Structure 1
Amino acid sequence: MFYVPISLFCTLLLCFHLAFFFSSTTTNTYLPSLCSPISKTNTTTATKYPSSKPKTPPPQEPNATTKYPSSKPKTPPPQEPKYEEEEEVVEEEDDEEEDEALFRLASLTNPNPTTPKKIAFMFLTTTPLPLSPLWELFFQPPNQTQTLYNIYIHADPSRPYEPPFSGVFSGRVIPSKPTSRADPSLISAARRLLSRALLHDPSNAMFVLLSPSCIPIRSFPFIYKTLANCSTKSFIEILSNEPTLRSRYDARGLGTMLPEVRFDSFRVGSQFFVLSRKHARLVVSDTRLWPKFKLPCESVYTCYAEEHYFSTLLNMEMEVGDGTCVPATLTHVDWSWSGGKYGHPRTYRPEQVGPGLIRGFRSAMPRYGDAGAGNWSSSEDYPFLFARKFSPTCLEPLMRIASDVIFRD
């Protein structure tokens, strides 16, 4: 009488067990965004941390789901802090390997640009380019039948970008990583921009590094003609007589830069440069000086790696007297005010913007090397093409004088 119900009960138990087995062994597949590169970090993370989760996951810190797809057990093992530290080291190593692979690939590109020659405008930013409307006008000159430029943006992914990049800046952000002022991360960011520009278009002949506070002080046709006509030259400030040169050299510790970088080879200069394709390849292919300049600093007040690395590298690598490296920046900046001693140049405010300011930039001449224009071996003089540092509130007065002053040469 009781044989059938007991059999049925056993069958139900067996089905329940199988259903539980199949549901517990099913895992989610990680689908990376089509707009992002597949990095070793993502692959390693998915392998280290299983995707199964407890029914009620514990609260996690922001972005924890990105680094650790699976939630932690309710009672973490004592070694958990050690695992987190090891994971950070692994991620840093993977980032370094990823950059090295990119740089190696870019160093194999053709050093001679194809025609028509183009200008690569590279923006290194942590903001959504507050002066972008002015640049929009700059990049859309009348009667231009051919695109003679490319735009590349390195945007710190840890910062907010509202409003997002739009117009000519839409879709121009390269795979980027966090950056900090007075930190080797700015060197890496500039090298990523150079690498992406080298690989993207073989017509890129000149590479202009810009900040979000930079503006053009000439029209696009004027700047294009100036740079295209001297596309075998680079413009980068190279200074050896700065008062803080010794303390900057020793910022990582006495003797740390030796033997690769001797003090008499060490140089400083503005981080904003214009490089030829030949010198852009030289920068991304460097493996000799970078290990020294990426070292941590003991004195953070004199350690501005982004102002040391490029000037020192070009100074050491270029042939003496070859005339291909002009020791001056084409981006005007005012260090004469009292606040300049704290590591920041003058920041222009709306009430200072007017036709007289732009004309003043144009009439000024870059300093060539250490002793002014007389130290530059060539008889050619070059004008400033860009200027910084403008606050976001300067946009309105800049737009008012854009057509009649800034873009009228």
Structure 2
Amino acid sequence: MFLATSSLPFAPLWESFFKNAPKTHVSIYVHVDPITFTWIPPYSSVFHDRIVPSKRSARHSTAVAAAMRRLLASALVDDPNNYMFILVSDSCIPLHSFNFTYKVFANSNKSFVEMKPQDLGAFFRWTVRGAHAMLPEVRYEDFRYGSQFLSLTRKHARMVVADTRVWSKFKLPCFQGCVHATLTNVDWSLGTFDGHPRMYKKDEVGPKLIWALRRDRPKYDEDVDGERNDPFLFARKFSPDALQALMAIADSVIFKD
């Protein structure tokens, strides 16, 4: 599931990612902001006729979460055999081949939802709409936050789409049966830039960067997840002008297992 607030700049790279994927192994769904971008993929594209009914999805608003719910609802209804629902952004790239990525999800019976430990940041997010605005539906001791880019089993996807109680508070519940981490590598080590993590520029793109992103591992809640060694499967954010550099190493590095 691709959540794009504007364009899909890395479409050629994803085309290469999906080109040898069996049709029975993957379904593609794209949400694009109809106000800021009009995109009609050609018939030969894997994205042809895969754009779901979309609405405005501006950042810093609940519209982005609503867009995710529309993607989930479309994927649930479109194919009852869809088992794992993976959300990526328009600035995401794959870190491995389709076969490698598919095997990771095919061998998993859990969702991957980042749930950061409670800290001052969590308390600020819980109270940002008012000291008691989240009550009684979402108690602070139950509140978690983390990356929006997640992977959900069908059971959890149905929970998100069907929910009305927690959605009224613009937050999702903490699930059982989840790995408390995201499989999308993001670098926040330099702080935030207008709410964004670090963006990789075209001059940074090369085999060393891809290998470094692969070597990194998700941050787990050891008390809950124990000893895990899941690989990152995707990475963000990449500058749109990095496409040519990424395509140059797609077959020799990114899709080579």
Task: Note if contact 1:240-1:266 (Cα within 8 Å) is conserved in structure 2.
Answer: no
* Gaps in structure 2 of 5+ consecutive residues: none
- d(CA) in 2 for partners of 1:202, 1:130: 30
Deviation at 1:240, TM superposition (A): 2.7
- d(CA) in 2 for partners of 1:211, 1:280: 18
What letter is aligned with 1:381? N
1:240 paired to 2:117:
yes
| Corresponding residue of 2:12 | 133
Name the TM-score, length of structure 2 as normaliser. Answer: 0.94
Residues 246 and 355 of structure 1: CA distance in aligned 2, closer, same or farther (over 3 Å):
same
1:350 paired to 2:228:
no
Asked which structure has the greater CA Rg, the reply is: 1
CA RMSD across the alignment: 1.5
Task: Note if contact 2:180-2:225 (Cα within 8 Å) is conserved in structure 1.
Answer: no
1:403 paired to 2:255:
no
- d(CA) in 2 for partners of 1:145, 1:291: 39
Other structure's SS at 1:169 match: coil
1:367 paired to 2:219:
yes
- Residue of 22, 27, 32 corresponding to 1:150: 27
Which structure has more helix as a fraction of its residues? 1
Task: Note if contact 1:128-1:165 (Cα within 8 Å) is conserved in structure 2.
Answer: no
Q: How does 1:9-408 map to 2 (within 5 A)?
A: 122-141=1-20, 146-161=23-38, 164-166=40-42, 167-230=45-108, 232-293=109-170, 309-310=171-172, 313=173, 315=174, 317-318=175-176, 324-338=177-191, 340=192, 342-369=194-221, 374-408=222-256
Name the TM-score, length of structure 1 as normaliser. Answer: 0.60
What letter is aligned with 1:134? L
| Corresponding residue of 1:32 | none
Deviation at 1:156, TM superposition (A): 1.3
Task: Note if contact 2:200-2:239 (Cα within 8 Å) is conserved in structure 1.
Answer: yes
Task: Note if contact 1:237-1:327 (Cα within 8 Å) is conserved in structure 2.
Answer: yes
- d(CA) in 1 for partners of 2:5, 2:214: 28
What letter is aligned with 2:59? R
- d(CA) in 2 for partners of 1:255, 1:168: 46
- d(CA) in 2 for partners of 1:368, 1:145: 32
- d(CA) in 2 for partners of 1:147, 1:135: 17
Q: How many residues align?
A: 255
* Larger relative contact order (Cα-Cα within 8 Å, sequence gap ≥ 6): 2
Task: Note if contact 2:207-2:249 (Cα within 8 Å) is conserved in structure 1.
Answer: yes
Task: Note if contact 2:115-2:146 (Cα within 8 Å) is conserved in structure 1.
Answer: yes
- d(CA) in 2 for partners of 1:242, 1:398: 37
Task: Note if contact 2:10-2:90 (Cα within 8 Å) is conserved in structure 1.
Answer: yes
| Corresponding residue of 1:39 | none
Deviation at 1:352, TM superposition (A): 0.3
Deviation at 1:380, TM superposition (A): 3.2
- d(CA) in 2 for partners of 1:358, 1:205: 28
What letter is aligned with 1:276? T
Deviation by residue 1:266-312 (Cα, 9 ceiling, x = unmatched): 1110000000011101111111111122xxxxxxxxxxxxxxx23xx
Deviation at 1:341, TM superposition (A): 6.3
- d(CA) in 1 for partners of 2:122, 2:90: 28
Task: Note if contact 2:185-2:213 (Cα within 8 Å) is conserved in structure 1.
Answer: yes
Task: Note if contact 1:350-1:393 (Cα within 8 Å) is conserved in structure 2.
Answer: yes
What letter is aligned with 1:128? S
